Amino acid sequence: MTVKICAEGFDPWHEVQAYQNAAQHMAGKFGATSLFIGTMRDFNEGDDVKAMNLEHYPGMTEKQLEKIVAEAQQQWPIIDALVVHRVGDILPNEPIVLVAVWTSHRGDAFDASRYIMEALKSKAPFWKKEVLKSEDQRWVEKNTDGYKR
């Protein structure tokens, strides 16, 4: 299980490929890999957004993410998991977060990655500040519930 905070841009596809290739213990064992990638939009709340800064609480972020992954491990038979999250200055179309979960069967992979992502949204100490097209800056006040449709 690995949790990573990136101050620079990252390529989620490369991260997953490199992680899977390096994890020899998984070879032949996993039948399902679930990936979630969150990417920055150029709009929010009806406004054009041209950039964003992601602040975090170094140390607590890693601690909370590791705890969330451990909670998921207690609920589902996870073979391995990778969580990568960006911090710093971000532009539209750049990836913000990657959650990858490897399991034997698909149900566990879907459910565990969903759990990790929703818990990250409500517990991991990150904060987004948007720069709008008008140059105004504003803090994103809260995350929405991902289970609500």
Partner 1 sequence: MTMSIKVRYFASLKESLGRSEDDLEFEGIATVSDVWRRANAGKPLPDNLLAAVNMEYVDWNSIVKDGDEVAFFPPVTGG
Using DSSP, state whether 42 is helix, strand or coil.
Answer: coil
Beta-carbon-side half-sphere exposure of residue 134 (alpha carbons within 13 Å): 6
- Residue 122 interacts with partner 1 (CB under 8 A): yes or no: yes
Do the Cβ atoms of 147 and 119 come closer than 8 Å? no
Paired tokens of 80: 């391995």
Q: Which stretch binds partner 1 (CB under 8 A): 16-24, 25-33, 70-78, 122-130?
A: 122-130
Among 8, 135, 136, 141, binds partner 1 (CB under 8 A): 141
Minimum CB distance to partner 1, residue 124 (Å): 5
Cβ-proximal residues to 76 (8 Å cutoff; 6+ apart), any chain? 103, 108, 111, 112, 115
Among 56, 82, 95, 102, binds partner 1 (CB under 8 A): 56
Among 55, 70, 77, 107, binds partner 1 (CB under 8 A): 55
Give residues in contact with partner 1 (CB under 8 A).
Answer: 38, 54-57, 59-60, 63-64, 85, 96-97, 117, 120-129, 139-143
